[in-house]
């Protein structure tokens, strides 16, 4: 009798595991149902938007880093907080739409690949994407003298008019990296971050970048400061007290013309290491040593991979729509609908 009961419970346990696995796989399969509609997409937005408005919107679990609070919000409300945290609301509407599609894709791709264990995404720009509560953003707009209701309308239009639209490559969500200002040419992802090849993240021209407020920046360090920062912020140990002109030199460049590696007092640093350790705006720099100072002249702002927000705004001003902007920065991609009904 007892043996029969044990067999029964064991069978029930096995069945539960199988059913749970099937439901999990089915759920991801359904939620990543991608429609590649090519040129028909713009027309389809209206029909499909109506259809989705009757269905529950997919929720996202967002961690607020400062408090540790995890709040559940809709993807649209999340994006209304992300888009103006990442891009000026004074940008062109088509550039804001491109940013909304990029941010949505970035978030879903992170969710799909379990970017966090206790939530779907966090509000830290260095780990996921910047997010501020819209009320805080409105207060910032008011302090800056912006027309806050006009700004909010633009952000909402960018999010709602592109609802459920994501960027795909070969039927899968792309890693939608973006940055502020490329300095004229975006970076090939294979040049940084572990040197992996991703066919849609290759270097492309990016125009209109020179109007960004951080297009050209200069950082100066005394030799002692440079040594302290390098030793505090990298795992390498550097002693450069007796630095001379030829003890600091760029030894290689990436394909897009950014710095790849720098020799400082016989220690080799990647440009990304230097950028992080010294707070440089990008890895596109020159370096000189004069009057006991090391001077970095930097062009552009950000890692340079994927969409340049400054370039996106330039192309929008010059008549490109969101889709054209996205297809300019991410080589060979499509736009698609993500079915979020479950």
Closest by alpha carbon to 158, among 309, 2, 4? 309
Judged by CB under 5 A, the residue of 127, 144, 249, 255 near Zn ion is 127
* For Zn ion, the closer CB: 114 or 242: 114
122 counts as binding Zn ion under rule CB under 5 A: yes
Residue 295, beta-bridge partner list: 220, 288
Taking the complex as a whole, how short is the minimal distance between the CB of residue 211 and Zn ion, in angstroms?
31
**What is the smallest separation between the CB atom of 321 and Zn ion, expressed in angstroms?**
30
Contact partners, residue 243, CB within 8 Å, separation at least 6: 223, 265, 289, 294
Rounded Cα gap, residues 217 and 280, in angstroms:
9
When the beta carbons of 130 and 295 are compared against Zn ion, the nearer one is 130
Residue 127 or 255 with smaller CB distance to Zn ion: 127
Instruction: State the minimum distance, in angstroms, from the CB of residue 109 to Zn ion.
Output: 13
Which segment (16-24, 35-43, 118-126, 264-272) binds Zn ion by CB under 5 A?
A: 118-126
- CB nearer to Zn ion: pick between 105 and 299: 105
Exactly one of 62, 82, 111, 128 binds Zn ion (CB under 5 A); that residue is: 128
Q: In terms of CB distance, is 122 or 336 closer to Zn ion?
A: 122
| Structure tokens that stand for 233 in this block | 């912020």
Show the site string, 60-99: x = touches Zn ion by CB under 5 A, - = not.
Answer: ----------------------------------------
- Helical H segments across 245-321, by residue range: 271-278, 309-317
Which residues have a Cβ under 8 Å from the Cβ of 270 and sit 6 or more positions away?
Answer: 192, 260, 261, 262
Helices (H), the chain: 2-31, 41-53, 75-86, 93-112, 134-143, 148-160, 223-233, 271-278, 309-317, 322-329
Contact set with Zn ion (CB under 5 A): 122, 127-128
């Amino acid at each position: 009798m007892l043996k029969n009961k044990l067999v029964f419970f064991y069978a029930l346990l096995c069945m539960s595991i199988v059913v749970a696995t099937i439901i999990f796989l089915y759920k991801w399969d359904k939620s990543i149902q991608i429609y590649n509609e090519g040129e028909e997409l713009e027309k389809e937005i209206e029909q499909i938007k109506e259809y989705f408005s009757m269905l529950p919107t997919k929720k996202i679990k967002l961690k607020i880093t400062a408090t540790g609070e995890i709040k559940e919000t809709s993807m649209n409300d999340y994006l209304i907080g992300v888009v103006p945290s990442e891009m000026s609301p004074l940008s062109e509407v088509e550039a804001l739409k491109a940013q909304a599609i990029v941010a949505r894709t970035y978030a879903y791709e992170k969710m799909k690949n379990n970017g966090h264990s206790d939530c779907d995404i966090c509000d830290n720009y260095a780990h996921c994407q910047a997010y501020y509560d819209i009320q805080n953003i409105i207060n910032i707009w008011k302090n800056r003298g912006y027309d806050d209701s006009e700004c909010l309308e633009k952000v909402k239009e960018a999010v709602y008019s592109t609802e459920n639209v994501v960027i795909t490559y070969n039927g899968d969500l792309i890693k939608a990296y973006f940055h502020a200002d490329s300095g004229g040419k975006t970076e090939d992802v294979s040049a940084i971050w572990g040197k992996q090849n991703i066919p849609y993240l290759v270097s492309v021209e990016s125009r209109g970048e020179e109007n960004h407020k951080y297009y050209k920046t200069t950082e100066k360090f005394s030799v002692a400061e440079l040594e302290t920062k390098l030793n505090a912020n990298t795992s390498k140990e550097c002693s450069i007290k007796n630095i001379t002109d030829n003890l600091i030199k760029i030894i290689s460049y990436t394909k897009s013309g950014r710095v790849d590696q720098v020799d400082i007092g016989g220690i080799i640093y990647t440009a990304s290491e230097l950028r992080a350790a010294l707070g440089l705006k990008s890895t596109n720099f020159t370096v000189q040593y004069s009057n006991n100072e090391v001077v970095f002249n930097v062009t552009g702002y950000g890692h340079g991979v994927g969409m340049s927000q400054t370039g996106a705004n330039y192309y929008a001003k010059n008549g490109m729509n969101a889709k054209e902007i996205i297809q300019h920065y991410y080589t060979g991609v499509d736009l698609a609908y993500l079915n979020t009904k479950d």
